[in-house]
Amino acid sequence: MPELPEVETTARGLEIIRNQEISKVKIHTKKLRFEIPINIKIILSNSKISNIRRIAKYIIADLNNGYSFIIHLGMSGRLKTCLFKYKREKHDHLIISFINKKILVYNDPRKFGFVDIVKTRKLHKQKYIMNLGIDALSPELKSAYLYDKINKSEVPIKQILLNQKLIAGIGNIYASEILFDAKISPLTLGKNLEISLIMKLIKSIRKILRKAIRYGGSSIRDYRSIDGTLGNFQSNFKVYNKEGKNIRNDKVVKIVQYGRSTFYCPKIQNND
Protein backbone atom coordinates (compact mmCIF):
# COMPACT_ATOMS: atom_id res chain seq x y z
CA MET A 1 0.00 0.00 0.00
CA PRO A 2 -0.20 2.27 -1.97
CA GLU A 3 -0.64 -0.08 -4.94
CA LEU A 4 -1.06 0.60 -8.65
CA PRO A 5 -4.50 2.32 -8.43
CA GLU A 6 -3.35 4.70 -5.70
CA VAL A 7 -0.12 5.52 -7.54
CA GLU A 8 -2.02 6.06 -10.81
CA THR A 9 -4.51 8.32 -9.03
CA THR A 10 -1.64 10.30 -7.52
CA ALA A 11 0.16 10.61 -10.86
CA ARG A 12 -3.01 11.89 -12.54
CA GLY A 13 -3.47 14.41 -9.76
CA LEU A 14 0.03 15.73 -10.38
CA GLU A 15 -1.02 16.98 -13.82
CA ILE A 16 -1.51 20.35 -12.09
CA ILE A 17 2.29 20.76 -11.89
CA ARG A 18 2.99 19.79 -15.50
CA ASN A 19 4.89 22.58 -17.28
CA GLN A 20 5.48 24.35 -13.98
CA GLU A 21 8.93 25.66 -13.01
CA ILE A 22 10.46 24.75 -9.66
CA SER A 23 11.66 27.72 -7.61
CA LYS A 24 12.78 26.14 -4.33
CA VAL A 25 13.48 22.72 -2.83
CA LYS A 26 13.67 22.01 0.91
CA ILE A 27 14.80 18.67 2.30
CA HIS A 28 14.16 17.85 5.95
CA THR A 29 15.75 14.41 6.19
CA LYS A 30 18.90 12.79 4.84
CA LYS A 31 17.42 9.37 4.34
CA LEU A 32 14.15 7.68 3.52
CA ARG A 33 14.42 4.02 2.53
CA PHE A 34 17.64 5.10 0.82
CA GLU A 35 19.72 8.23 1.19
CA ILE A 36 18.35 11.19 -0.73
CA PRO A 37 20.74 12.06 -3.60
CA ILE A 38 22.91 15.01 -2.62
CA ASN A 39 22.47 16.65 -6.05
CA ILE A 40 18.68 16.54 -6.00
CA LYS A 41 18.22 20.18 -4.95
CA ILE A 42 20.58 21.47 -7.63
CA ILE A 43 18.97 19.45 -10.43
CA LEU A 44 15.38 20.20 -9.41
CA SER A 45 15.87 23.92 -8.83
CA ASN A 46 14.86 26.08 -11.81
CA SER A 47 13.84 23.03 -13.84
CA LYS A 48 10.38 22.58 -15.32
CA ILE A 49 8.13 19.50 -15.09
CA SER A 50 7.69 18.41 -18.70
CA ASN A 51 5.81 15.16 -18.13
CA ILE A 52 4.18 13.07 -15.38
CA ARG A 53 3.87 9.31 -15.75
CA ARG A 54 3.70 6.06 -13.82
CA ILE A 55 5.88 2.99 -14.09
CA ALA A 56 4.42 0.20 -11.93
CA LYS A 57 4.31 1.73 -8.41
CA TYR A 58 6.74 4.54 -9.28
CA ILE A 59 5.77 8.11 -10.11
CA ILE A 60 8.05 9.69 -12.70
CA ALA A 61 8.30 13.44 -13.21
CA ASP A 62 10.38 14.13 -16.31
CA LEU A 63 12.19 17.47 -16.25
CA ASN A 64 13.13 19.78 -19.10
CA ASN A 65 16.83 19.45 -18.23
CA GLY A 66 17.16 15.80 -19.24
CA TYR A 67 16.59 14.35 -15.76
CA SER A 68 13.72 12.45 -14.21
CA PHE A 69 12.53 12.75 -10.62
CA ILE A 70 11.35 9.40 -9.24
CA ILE A 71 9.04 8.97 -6.26
CA HIS A 72 8.13 5.69 -4.59
CA LEU A 73 5.51 6.02 -1.85
CA GLY A 74 6.52 2.89 0.05
CA MET A 75 4.06 1.78 2.73
CA SER A 76 2.81 5.07 4.11
CA GLY A 77 4.05 7.81 1.79
CA ARG A 78 1.80 10.35 0.11
CA LEU A 79 2.09 13.50 -1.95
CA LYS A 80 0.06 16.60 -1.21
CA THR A 81 -0.27 19.93 -2.93
CA CYS A 82 -1.31 23.37 -1.77
CA LEU A 83 -1.06 27.01 -2.78
CA PHE A 84 1.05 29.88 -1.42
CA LYS A 85 2.56 29.62 2.04
CA TYR A 86 2.77 26.18 3.59
CA LYS A 87 3.39 25.33 7.23
CA ARG A 88 5.43 22.16 7.49
CA GLU A 89 3.69 19.21 9.16
CA LYS A 90 5.11 16.18 10.91
CA HIS A 91 6.77 13.67 8.53
CA ASP A 92 7.05 16.20 5.67
CA HIS A 93 10.44 15.24 4.26
CA LEU A 94 10.58 17.08 0.94
CA ILE A 95 8.90 20.36 -0.01
CA ILE A 96 9.02 21.63 -3.60
CA SER A 97 7.83 25.15 -4.41
CA PHE A 98 6.90 26.32 -7.91
CA ILE A 99 7.01 29.72 -9.57
CA ASN A 100 3.19 29.78 -9.78
CA LYS A 101 3.02 29.42 -5.95
CA LYS A 102 1.95 25.76 -5.98
CA ILE A 103 3.71 23.57 -3.44
CA LEU A 104 4.32 19.80 -3.60
CA VAL A 105 5.05 17.94 -0.36
CA TYR A 106 6.32 14.39 0.16
CA ASN A 107 5.12 13.04 3.51
CA ASP A 108 6.05 9.59 4.81
CA PRO A 109 5.61 8.60 8.49
CA ARG A 110 7.37 5.24 8.15
CA LYS A 111 10.07 6.35 5.68
CA PHE A 112 9.70 3.22 3.54
CA GLY A 113 9.41 5.23 0.33
CA PHE A 114 12.21 6.98 -1.51
CA VAL A 115 13.01 9.70 -4.02
CA ASP A 116 15.67 9.61 -6.71
CA ILE A 117 16.97 11.75 -9.55
CA VAL A 118 18.49 10.21 -12.68
CA LYS A 119 19.08 11.11 -16.29
CA THR A 120 15.93 10.27 -18.21
CA ARG A 121 17.82 8.28 -20.85
CA LYS A 122 19.26 6.07 -18.10
CA LEU A 123 16.01 5.55 -16.19
CA HIS A 124 15.43 2.10 -17.66
CA LYS A 125 18.85 1.04 -16.36
CA GLN A 126 17.99 1.71 -12.73
CA LYS A 127 17.79 -1.60 -10.88
CA TYR A 128 14.37 -0.87 -9.37
CA ILE A 129 12.98 -0.19 -12.87
CA MET A 130 15.01 -2.71 -14.83
CA ASN A 131 13.84 -5.65 -12.68
CA LEU A 132 10.13 -4.95 -13.13
CA GLY A 133 7.88 -7.32 -15.03
CA ILE A 134 5.10 -6.24 -17.38
CA ASP A 135 2.81 -3.57 -15.96
CA ALA A 136 -0.45 -5.04 -14.70
CA LEU A 137 -2.46 -2.74 -17.01
CA SER A 138 -0.22 -3.05 -20.04
CA PRO A 139 -1.71 -4.59 -23.20
CA GLU A 140 1.52 -6.60 -23.29
CA LEU A 141 0.29 -8.66 -20.36
CA LYS A 142 -1.01 -11.65 -22.28
CA SER A 143 -1.95 -15.18 -21.26
CA ALA A 144 0.91 -16.71 -23.27
CA TYR A 145 3.46 -14.59 -21.39
CA LEU A 146 2.10 -15.51 -17.97
CA TYR A 147 1.64 -19.18 -18.81
CA ASP A 148 5.25 -19.36 -19.99
CA LYS A 149 6.42 -17.83 -16.71
CA ILE A 150 4.39 -19.94 -14.28
CA ASN A 151 3.52 -23.27 -15.91
CA LYS A 152 6.23 -25.04 -13.87
CA SER A 153 5.91 -22.94 -10.74
CA GLU A 154 5.29 -24.53 -7.33
CA VAL A 155 4.33 -21.11 -5.95
CA PRO A 156 0.67 -20.27 -5.14
CA ILE A 157 -0.95 -17.84 -7.58
CA LYS A 158 -1.54 -15.25 -4.84
CA GLN A 159 2.21 -14.96 -4.33
CA ILE A 160 2.81 -14.93 -8.08
CA LEU A 161 0.56 -11.88 -8.40
CA LEU A 162 2.71 -10.09 -5.82
CA ASN A 163 5.95 -10.85 -7.68
CA GLN A 164 6.86 -7.49 -9.22
CA LYS A 165 9.40 -9.19 -11.49
CA LEU A 166 6.52 -10.98 -13.26
CA ILE A 167 3.62 -8.51 -13.07
CA ALA A 168 4.32 -4.99 -11.83
CA GLY A 169 1.88 -3.00 -9.74
CA ILE A 170 -0.31 -5.49 -7.86
CA GLY A 171 -0.12 -5.55 -4.06
CA ASN A 172 -1.71 -7.61 -1.32
CA ILE A 173 -5.11 -5.90 -1.23
CA TYR A 174 -5.89 -6.15 -4.93
CA ALA A 175 -4.47 -9.67 -5.26
CA SER A 176 -7.27 -11.01 -3.03
CA GLU A 177 -9.91 -9.01 -4.89
CA ILE A 178 -8.62 -10.10 -8.31
CA LEU A 179 -8.58 -13.79 -7.39
CA PHE A 180 -12.11 -13.59 -6.00
CA ASP A 181 -13.33 -11.93 -9.19
CA ALA A 182 -11.64 -14.63 -11.28
CA LYS A 183 -12.97 -17.37 -8.94
CA ILE A 184 -9.45 -18.77 -8.56
CA SER A 185 -8.21 -20.12 -5.24
CA PRO A 186 -5.18 -18.25 -3.87
CA LEU A 187 -3.76 -21.66 -2.97
CA THR A 188 -3.62 -22.85 -6.58
CA LEU A 189 -0.06 -23.44 -7.71
CA GLY A 190 1.12 -21.67 -10.84
CA LYS A 191 1.76 -24.96 -12.62
CA ASN A 192 -1.89 -25.96 -12.12
CA LEU A 193 -3.38 -22.93 -13.86
CA GLU A 194 -4.63 -23.83 -17.29
CA ILE A 195 -4.44 -21.23 -20.05
CA SER A 196 -8.20 -20.64 -19.84
CA LEU A 197 -7.89 -19.69 -16.16
CA ILE A 198 -4.92 -17.45 -16.90
CA MET A 199 -7.01 -15.61 -19.50
CA LYS A 200 -9.74 -15.20 -16.90
CA LEU A 201 -7.19 -13.98 -14.36
CA ILE A 202 -5.80 -11.29 -16.67
CA LYS A 203 -9.33 -10.11 -17.42
CA SER A 204 -9.96 -9.76 -13.67
CA ILE A 205 -6.65 -7.95 -13.14
CA ARG A 206 -7.69 -5.27 -15.61
CA LYS A 207 -11.26 -5.10 -14.35
CA ILE A 208 -10.41 -4.67 -10.65
CA LEU A 209 -7.49 -2.26 -11.13
CA ARG A 210 -9.39 -0.04 -13.56
CA LYS A 211 -12.40 0.05 -11.27
CA ALA A 212 -10.17 0.93 -8.32
CA ILE A 213 -8.68 3.82 -10.30
CA ARG A 214 -12.17 5.12 -11.09
CA TYR A 215 -12.88 5.17 -7.36
CA GLY A 216 -9.63 6.99 -6.58
CA GLY A 217 -7.90 3.99 -5.03
CA SER A 218 -8.39 2.52 -1.57
CA SER A 219 -7.87 4.34 1.71
CA ILE A 220 -7.17 1.73 4.37
CA ARG A 221 -4.68 3.57 6.58
CA ASP A 222 -2.57 6.43 5.25
CA TYR A 223 -3.48 6.90 1.61
CA ARG A 224 -5.07 10.11 0.37
CA SER A 225 -4.92 11.72 -3.06
CA ILE A 226 -2.79 14.82 -3.49
CA ASP A 227 -5.68 17.13 -2.57
CA GLY A 228 -6.40 15.15 0.59
CA THR A 229 -9.37 13.22 -0.79
CA LEU A 230 -9.82 9.68 0.50
CA GLY A 231 -10.01 6.86 -2.00
CA ASN A 232 -13.33 5.01 -2.03
CA PHE A 233 -12.68 1.60 -3.55
CA GLN A 234 -12.57 0.01 -0.08
CA SER A 235 -16.36 0.34 -0.08
CA ASN A 236 -16.31 -2.06 -3.06
CA PHE A 237 -14.14 -4.75 -1.47
CA LYS A 238 -15.73 -8.17 -1.84
CA VAL A 239 -13.33 -10.21 0.31
CA TYR A 240 -10.38 -8.15 1.54
CA ASN A 241 -10.67 -7.61 5.30
CA LYS A 242 -14.15 -9.20 5.15
CA GLU A 243 -13.44 -12.31 7.23
CA GLY A 244 -16.71 -14.03 8.18
CA LYS A 245 -18.83 -12.27 5.54
CA ASN A 246 -21.40 -14.52 3.86
CA ILE A 247 -21.30 -14.56 0.06
CA ARG A 248 -23.59 -16.85 -1.95
CA ASN A 249 -23.65 -19.79 0.50
CA ASP A 250 -19.96 -19.32 1.22
CA LYS A 251 -18.02 -17.42 3.82
CA VAL A 252 -14.90 -15.27 3.54
CA VAL A 253 -11.97 -16.81 5.40
CA LYS A 254 -8.60 -15.36 6.25
CA ILE A 255 -5.36 -17.27 5.88
CA VAL A 256 -1.72 -16.21 5.97
CA GLN A 257 0.51 -16.85 2.97
CA TYR A 258 4.18 -15.94 3.07
CA GLY A 259 3.47 -13.67 6.03
CA ARG A 260 0.67 -11.76 4.25
CA SER A 261 -3.07 -11.92 4.91
CA THR A 262 -5.20 -13.52 2.19
CA PHE A 263 -9.00 -13.32 2.08
CA TYR A 264 -11.05 -15.67 -0.08
CA CYS A 265 -14.16 -17.86 -0.36
CA PRO A 266 -13.14 -21.55 -0.47
CA LYS A 267 -16.30 -22.78 -2.23
CA ILE A 268 -16.62 -19.99 -4.79
CA GLN A 269 -12.90 -20.02 -5.53
CA ASN A 270 -12.64 -23.78 -5.84
CA ASN A 271 -11.00 -24.41 -9.20
CA ASP A 272 -9.37 -27.75 -8.35
2 as an active site residue: the answer is: yes
Which of 54, 57, 80, 242 is catalytic? The answer is 57
Which of 3, 6, 8, 177 is catalytic? The answer is 3
121 as an active site residue: the answer is: no
260 as an active site residue: the answer is: yes
Which of 24, 142, 260, 266 is catalytic? The answer is 260
251 as an active site residue: the answer is: no
Q: What is the DSSP string of the chain?
A: ---HHHHHHHHHHGGGGTTPBEEEEEE--SBSSSBPPTTHHHHHTT-BEEEEEEETTEEEEEETTSEEEEEE-TTT-EEEEEES-----TTEEEEEEETTSEEEEEE-SS---EEEEEEGGGGGGSHHHHT--EETT-TT--HHHHHHHHTT--SBHHHHHH-TTTEES--HHHHHHHHHHHT--TT-BGGG--HHHHHHHHHHHHHHHHHHHHTT---SSS---TTSPPP-GGGG-SSTT-TT-EETTEE-EEEEETTEEEEE-TTTT---
Active site residues: 2-3, 57, 260
